[in-house]
Amino acid sequence: MSNTAAIDKLKEKLKFSVVLLVGPPLAGKGTQAQRLSTILNVPAVSTGDLFRAEVASGSELGKRMKEFMDRGELIPDEFTKEFLTIKFAENNLVHNGLILDGYPRNPIHLPILDEILKDLDCKLLAAVHFKIDNAVLMQRLTGRLICPKCQAVTSTKFLPAGADEANASCLNEACDGILIKLRTTQSR
């Protein structure tokens, strides 16, 4: 079977289905979600991005979420279920399939995701677990850079040769932001 035929077959299986990418932060879930999204022409959704966008919108819902986030707490389960059901239903997001990054956060959340999918007449097609050594995670954490303007994330290892990481320009050609290093100490 050719790659194109295999991709077409997978696209057909993905209709009204979700593929989960689970694992620790910095394991590469977001990177792989974007790659799969491009290959399969289905949306990749980061639940963290959805939550942050809602908070940034200043909506009443976002303000309520921000209270939990500011205290370093996870959004309560019922609140999360309601929010994600609404977001996944918007624009018929799951119609052609969905790559989901960041939820469920732990096995306790799996029944909640099952309820969300059931409410949307969808099913879980597959889950991919990213297992990565803690030393590699720490290396990625200490080298992670973000553009505050476009939210692009990269690593010091991808900067052009000779670039000063303290003054590096965003690698996204459509952006003129300056990359900043994320804090490496845990605040929670």
Instruction: For 53-81, write each residue's pLDDT tens digit.
Output: 888 899 998 899 889 888 888 888 888 88
Q: What order of strands is seen across the sheet that includes strand 17-22? A: 44-46, 98-101, 17-22, 123-129
Contact partners, residue 95, CB within 8 Å, separation at least 6? 15, 16
Domain boundary among 117, 132, 147: 132
> Quick check: helix, strand or coil at residue 105?
coil
| Of 104, 121, 180, residue with least CA distance to 149 | 180
Token output for 121: 């007449």
Q: Give the structural domain span for 54.
A: 3-132
Neighbouring-strand partners of residue 55:
none
> Do 107 and 154 share a domain, yes or no?
no
Amino acid at 32: Q
> Do 158 and 127 share a domain, yes or no?
no
> Do 111 and 64 share a domain, yes or no?
yes
Q: Is residue 156 part of a domain?
A: yes
Token output for 47: 């639940």
Residue 186's pLDDT band, with cuts at 50, 70 and 90, is: very low
d(CA 64, CA 54): 10
> Do 152 and 119 share a domain, yes or no?
no
| Of 25, 48, 47, residue with least CA distance to 140 | 25
Instruction: Enter the pTM of the model.
Output: 0.71
**Do 148 and 157 form a contact (C-beta atoms < 8 A)?**
no
Domain boundary among 132, 149, 168: 132
Q: What is the pLDDT of residue 20?
A: 92
> Do 105 and 158 share a domain, yes or no?
no
Q: What is the pLDDT of residue 44?
A: 92
pLDDT: which is higher, 11 or 108 = 108
Instruction: For 132-163, write each residue's pLDDT tens digit.
Output: 898 888 887 777 888 887 777 787 877 777 77
